[in-house]
């Protein structure tokens, strides 16, 4: 039965991808990619990757869709039609695709427990990690401990991407010589576009936003025991802020969390992560060896995971919100 669901969802996914290619209206394309991500998240759930499904649903169907829409508001929403097929590109994709399909013929079948991928480190993670780390969610224990360096690096990449977006978009367009007279005008134009006057949206988002934040907190702090963790909680928090901004306007959102505070949080999360590593060094362990944090090994692991997941959550939430604010604020200057 689950196999049937899997097959049907994957077929839908392929159809939506084709529709994305054929549609010239970029608004429609971005709406399709939202559907695409939701389908992808459902597939991840059927494939047992619940943590990944969480992230894909919040990122793909939420944040990245909104970012694409914000970019289109600043550029264009129509693609120039091309009347001829690009045969060179079609040939290139066909040849590459056939080579890849030929490569899969030797691959172990889907779901095969004897596949090489399940023989190397996975048994260690599955059999030993629940006792060694004391955390039931193996994804969390691998993410935070065995691959803690990777995760630190990835948090740093997200931090760097945020800096790049700020450098590209935050500067005033005409060398800081902002035209003050034009601002109220632009504000009015934008004010009409924010959803402040849509009563149903306003009431419902007021009702839902606290629930989104509550759920974000649950995902953040319950990530050791159930699906969840810093990355998921961060994107869920950010989608709550983005929803608030979309409905109540950028000015109000900036009063709730000033951009300066957000930018400080971007750095704070990463520093908290790296600081946990330094703390383990000071307390006699190796870098990010959480055992050193407390007298008992699993207690130390719990503390370490709590801190670094919090660091990841803060950085991810702050980065996503900052990026969205930067895109949304670009249209005003």
Partner 1 sequence: MSDFWGLYNYWIAIFLMMVGFYNVIARGNLIKKLIGLNIFQTSVFLLYISMGKVEGGSAPIVGAGISSFSNPLPHVLILTAIVVGVATTSVGLALVVRIKEAYGTIEEDELIAQESVTQ
Residue from 31, 49, 209, 281 touching partner 1 (CB under 8 A): that is 49
| Residues paired with residue 25 on neighbouring β-strands, in sequence order | 78
What number of chain residues touch partner 1 (CB under 8 A)?
Answer: 103
For position 93 contacting partner 1 by CB under 8 A, the verdict is yes
Looking only at residues 290 through 309 of this chain, which bind partner 1 when binding is defined by CB under 8 A? none
Backbone angles phi, psi at 159, to 5 degrees: -60, -45
269 counts as binding partner 1 under rule CB under 8 A: no
Q: Is 10 in the site for partner 1 (CB under 8 A)?
A: yes
* Smallest gap from residue 52 Cβ to partner 1 (A): 5
Report if residue 164 touches partner 1, rule: CB under 8 A.
Answer: yes
CA 299, 300, 306, 311: dihedral to nearest 10 degrees?
180
Are 25 and 78 in contact by the 8 Å Cβ rule? The answer is: yes
Q: Pick the stretch among 161-169, 200-208, 247-255, 259-267 that binds partner 1 (CB under 8 A).
A: 161-169
Distance in angstroms (rounded) separating the CA atoms of residues 49 and 37: 14
* Contact window for partner 1 (CB under 8 A) among 100-108, 274-282, 287-295, 298-306: 100-108
| Cα-based angle 265, 65, 147 (whole degrees, multiple of 5) | 50
The single residue among 5, 173, 183, 286 that binds partner 1, judged by CB under 8 A, is: 173
| H-run or E-run covering 274 | helix 259-282
Nearer to partner 1, 292 or 328 (CB): 328
If residue 104 lies in a helix (H) or strand (E), which one and from where to where? helix 87-104
Q: Which of 105, 181, 199, 282 binds partner 1 (CB under 8 A)?
A: 105
Question: Does 5 help bind partner 1 (rule: CB under 8 A)?
Answer: no
Query: How far apart (Å, rounded) are the C-alpha atoms in residues 317 and 244?
Result: 14
């Amino acid at each position: 039965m689950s196999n049937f669901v899997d097959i049907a969802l994957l077929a839908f996914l392929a159809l939506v991808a084709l529709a994305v290619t054929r549609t010239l209206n970029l608004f429609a394309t971005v709406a399709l990619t939202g559907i695409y991500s939701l389908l992808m998240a459902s597939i991840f759930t059927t494939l047992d990757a619940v943590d990944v499904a969480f992230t894909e649903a919040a990122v793909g169907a939420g944040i990245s869709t909104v970012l694409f829409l914000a970019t289109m508001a600043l550029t264009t929403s129509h693609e120039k039609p091309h009347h001829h097929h690009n045969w060179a590109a079609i040939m290139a994709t066909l040849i590459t695709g056939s080579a890849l399909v030929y490569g899969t013929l030797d691959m172990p079948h889907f779901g095969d427990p004897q596949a090489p991928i399940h023989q190397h480190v996975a048994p260690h993670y599955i059999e030993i990690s629940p006792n060694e780390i004391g955390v039931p969610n193996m994804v969390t224990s691998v993410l935070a401990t065995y691959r803690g360096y990777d995760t630190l690096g990835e948090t740093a990449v997200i931090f760097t991407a945020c800096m790049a977006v700020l450098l590209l978009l935050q500067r005033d367009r005409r060398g800081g010589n902002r035209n003050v007279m034009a601002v109220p005008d632009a504000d009015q134009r934008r004010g009409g576009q924010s959803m402040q006057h849509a009563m149903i949206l306003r009431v419902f988002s007021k009702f839902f936003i606290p629930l989104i934040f509550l759920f974000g907190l649950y995902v953040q702090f319950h990530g050791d025991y159930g699906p969840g963790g810093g990355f998921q909680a961060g994107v869920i928090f950010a989608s709550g802020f983005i929803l608030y901004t979309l409905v109540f306007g950028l000015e109000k959102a900036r009063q709730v969390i000033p951009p300066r505070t957000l930018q400080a949080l971007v750095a704070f999360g990463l520093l908290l992560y790296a600081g946990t590593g330094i703390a383990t060094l000071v307390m006699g362990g190796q870098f990010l060896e959480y055992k050193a944090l407390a007298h008992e090994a699993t207690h130390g692991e719990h503390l370490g995971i709590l801190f670094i997941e919090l660091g990841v959550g803060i950085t991810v939430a702050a980065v996503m919100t900052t990026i969205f604010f930067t895109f949304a604020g670009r249209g005003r200057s």
